[in-house]
Structure 1
Amino acid sequence: MTRKNLTANRTTLTHRVRYAARHPDRVPRYLARAGRDAWLRLRHRDHVAYYRAVMRSDCAADPEAAVGSKTHDRWLALGKMQFDYLVGHGLQPGDRMLEIGCGNLRAGWRFIDYLEPGRYYGLDISPDILFAAQDTVVRQRLQDKVPHLTPVRDLTFAFLPDAHFRVVHAHSVFSHSPPHVIDECLAHVGRVLRPDGWFDFTFDRTEAEEHHVLREDFYYRTETLVALAGKHGLRAEFMADWEKLPHGQSKIRVRLPAGA
């Protein structure tokens, strides 16, 4: 997968017309998404409730497609990419790991298999995708690893203990989140991080005007998210080595301030 156009504004009429001309086969799917978006906007003013409804709809069709994988091979490849990256950056079997937006365990089943029993915690706002996650645990025969899979209403992590996780991970979560949801996460994630821990998140990057498509896909400048992390006392680093991998998103790592 190639890096997405970093200067495009996907909300403009010009971009939409040009995109439709280049990809006429994708127009029916976009129109279906737009219709669903309009209906769900009327029913759910809160973004988390809205996106929970999106996931319910997508999971009913295909749980793997619901987390952004068009084929099973791609589902496997993207999960392995996430797993290899974190292990390459120092994730150890004895670490406690929190995965925000764990989905149907595209990467999570590999983390569960690698970590010691009870060390993996997966959260998601969608109960439907967590049912699919349970199916993945069964399919991979990982019951003895006792993973924690928990539905949540928000990203405050209020039920989790202080300084509990060395690694926190959120893949393709902020790409579907408006600023106030990201702010909420960054305001609270530092409490559950160990002093030597880190939080990795991916996002859809733009170098032009920030924008979103429907209420499903959000595009941010790197400096916006770095500043937002700094607002909550977190040190943020753009992960340039992630850019070399075949995925369309970018990655930022945040840590607690030195000496915390």
Structure 2
Amino acid sequence: MTDPLPPTRRNRASLTYKLRYAAQNPDKIRAYLSRMSRDLKFRVASRDHVAYYRSVMRSDTARNPEAAVGSRSHGRWLALGRMQFDYLLEHGLKPDDRMLEIGCGNLRAGWRFIDHLETGNYYGIDISPDILLAAQHTLVRQGLRDKMPHLALVGDLKLRFLPSAHFTVVHAHSVFSHSPLDVIDECLANVGRVLAPGGFFDFTFDRTEGAEHHVLREDFYYRTETLTRLAERHGFTARLMDDWEALPHGQSKIRVTRPEPAEGTAPA
């Protein structure tokens, strides 16, 4: 039995998809039922989505920090980090850039960014204290303490403690794929303040061309136009990065920029 729909048309929350997937992957049923049980427990105990997903990360990180950020093996952890780094390097990342990584995790890509950037130019934030402790271990393992990166725990994506117009590059990999629309809206409403003139914000997401949906409260699937329109409402220009689609990672990427003011006009 095969799924007749392409990946971007599948509704992973539908009963039909779940039954078909279970029939094709009976060995994964037990793990999914365990996730459902955990999901219910965390929903009841959490006041909002950030608290919910912090519990998810605590649970996943306790088992394996690399798996907690979506890597099935250390080799895959290295490969995905390298892919993110190489792509940004080919698309404008320079050593003198000041970079903010939203959802830095255990520095899967972050350690490469830190190594490439000038000392002190990397700032990573995450909602999970557990994964940030794992990030410290990555820094030590890679010998990057002297690069003086900043790592900070956050409770939301309002970015209130960060300086205005400071970061030339903002990056969020596999953050919006785990976020409901109100969290994404909060981020886009505030990231423009910390973004320097001429800077850009790259983020990945799980793309669907069918009905938007989520699996438990962990994985969210959006249409491209939903996120580009949301970015435009916050004053950004947004475009799907088509060349990212060809790489073996499973997510899509959008880049948002703030249009430069016309000559002779004051910035908004």
Which TM-score bucket, shorter chain as reference? over 0.9
Instruction: For structure 2, list consecutive stretches of 5 or more residues without a partner in the other structure.
Output: 1-5, 262-266
- The 1-side partners of 2:147 and 2:159 are apart by 22
% of aligned pairs identical? 70
Query: Which residue of structure 2 lines up, in the alignment, with residue 158 of structure 1?
Result: 160
Asked if the contact 2:43–2:52 (Cα under 8 Å) also holds between the matched residues in 1, the reply is yes
Aligned length: 257
5+ residue gaps, structure 1, are none
- List structure 1 segments (4+ residues) > 4 angstroms apart after TM superposition: none
Residue 210 (1) aligns with residue 247 (2): no
Say yes or no: does 1:199 pair with 2:201: yes
Matched residue, 2:114: 112
CA deviation vs aligned residue, 1:71-113 (integer Å, no higher than 9, x gap): 0000000000000000101111011000000000000000001
Matches of residues 26-65 of structure 1 in structure 2 within 5 Å? 26-65=28-67
| Structure 2 SS opposite 1:6 | helix
Deviation at 1:11, TM superposition (A): 1.3
Structure possessing the higher radius of gyration over alpha carbons: 2
Question: What is the distance in 1 between the residues matched to 2:258 and 2:215?
Answer: 32
**Matched ranges for 1:8-19 at <5 A:** 8-19=10-21
- 1:233-244 alignment to 2 at 5 Å? 233-244=235-246
Deviation of the 1:41 alpha carbon: 0.6
SS at match of 2:214: strand
Amino acid at match of 1:216: E
Cα offset for 1:257? 2.1
Matches within 5 A, 1:94-113: 94-113=96-115
Q: Give 1:80-91 correspondences, 5 Å limit.
A: 80-91=82-93
* Superposed displacement of residue 47, structure 1: 0.2
Deviation at 1:26, TM superposition (A): 1.3
**Is the partner of 1:16 in helix, strand or coil?**
helix
How many angstroms apart in 2 are the aligned matches of 1:28 and 1:12? 18
**TM-score normalised according to structure 1 size:** 0.98
Q: Which residue of structure 2 lines up, in the alignment, with residue 24 of structure 1?
A: 26
Superposition TM-score, scaled by structure 2 size: 0.95
Measured on the aligned residues, the alpha-carbon RMSD in Å equals 0.8
Aligned to 2:149: 147
Distance in 1, matches of 2:161 and 2:101, equals 15
Separation of aligned partners in 2, 1:54 and 1:187 = 25
Partner Cα separation in structure 1 for residue 123 and residue 215 of structure 2:
30
SS of the residue aligned with 1:161?
coil
SS in 1 for 2:227: helix
